[in-house]
Amino acid sequence: MFRYQRTLHNAIEFDGIGLHTGYPVHLQLTPAPENTGIVFRRTDLKNFEIEATRAHVARVSYATTLMKKGVMISTVEHLLSTLYGFGIDNLFLDINSMEVPIMDGSGKGFMDGIENCGIRKQNALREYLLIQEPIEVRHGDKVAGVYPASLPTATYIIDFEHGAIGRQQIDMELTPECYRNEIGTARTFGFVSDVEYLKKCGLIRGGSLENAIVLDDSGIVNRELRFPDEFVRHKLLDLLGDISLIGHPIIGHLYAEKAGHAIHAALADRIARGIRKQRVCTLPEFESALAVPKAG
Ligand SMILES: [Zn+2]
């Protein structure tokens, strides 16, 4: 965990295409002052700003979309997850189109760029959200929750009938190193049987074997996986992107089972609405609360 807020040393640029729109897009990550948060700026719309917060979440089917005054930014979750995973608090995300580039379907391109550029410590203290009361959202057999814990940790469980996936579980401490090595490079995935329907809905126009793991009835079309359980790792990547919209790094245990963007967003919403039941504190405050034994 980091005591001080963080941004980048310099600006970094990325070119790619949107997964759903198929449009070419240019993205620049620009360092921002303390207490700015993560803010998208649409460079094609006079730098119109959309703060990456819960208040602007508009749609959560197949991807997470932000909208403010009718201006959208879609498929934000992998980029926001990378920033959350690396502990970056303040950044302008300058983008000339409505969808974040999909890169290779994971956070790898963003992580490589950020590591080459370097992360800069700022002067203001980070404010963590310390979970003091459990919060749980259930939709049928789908669950997402957060529980008190002394470190940021997470568990994700998926169970797909597809033979190449099955039941997978990951349990992690959430540090930038673990994120880098275990989560950030896990790619998104989809099923050939859904392709026709999604295309009819105007989705995945930029989708290909270059930016997703594709499964058909017989197995994995791409053949090579980055991890045997890459699927559940990617689901955790998505969860962290959606949870990042709360605006504070969480000290607690995140848990999700058979979940997706909609229930991730519902959990983020519940946490944000009940924020007074939890505790917002700096790391020195958290450490001194741990160190001082209660009187008596
Ligand atoms: Zn994803």
pLDDT tens digits, residue range 2-47? Answer: 999 999 999 999 999 998 888 999 999 999 999 999 999 999 999 9
pLDDT at residue 130 in the model: 95
pLDDT at residue 199 in the model: 81
User: What percentage of residues in the chain have a pLDDT greater than 70?
Assistant: 98
Angle, alpha carbons 278-84-1 (nearest 5°)? 65
CA of 236 to the centre of ligand 1 (A): 9
pLDDT at residue 8 in the model: 98
Q: What is the mean pLDDT of residues 93-98?
A: 97
pLDDT at residue 46 in the model: 97
pLDDT at residue 208 in the model: 85
Angle, alpha carbons 226-167-227 (nearest 5°)? 10
- CATH for 4-125 is 3.30.230.20
Contacts of 51 (CB under 8 A, 6+ apart): 37, 38, 39, 40, 68
Phi, psi of 179 (to 5 degrees): -60, -50
CA of 294 to the centre of ligand 1 (A): 43
Phi, psi of 52 (to 5 degrees): -80, 80
Q: Note whether 44 and 96 are within 8 A (CB).
A: yes
- Domain extents in the chain: 4-125, 128-291
Average pLDDT value for the chain: 93
What are 8's strand-pairing partners?
A: 119
CA of 203 to the centre of ligand 1 (A): 14
User: What percentage of residues in the chain have a pLDDT greater than 90?
Assistant: 81
CA of 233 to the centre of ligand 1 (A): 10
pLDDT tens digits along 55-83: 999 977 778 999 999 999 999 999 999 99
So which residues are the catalytic ones? 261
CA distance 151 to 153: 6
- Cβ neighbours, 10 Å, residue 248: 19
Q: Helix 230-243 to helix 77-86 angle, to the nearest 10 degrees?
A: 80
Beta strand ranges found along 131-277 (DSSP E): 135-139, 142-147, 153-159, 167-173, 189-191, 213-216, 219-220, 250-251, 253-257
CA of 158 to the centre of ligand 1 (A): 14
CA distance 74 to 205: 14
pLDDT at residue 293 in the model: 61
Q: CATH says 128-291 is which class?
A: alpha beta
pLDDT tens digits along 235-268: 999 999 999 999 999 999 999 999 999 999 999 9
Is pTM beyond 0.75? Reply is yes
CA of 290 to the centre of ligand 1 (A): 35
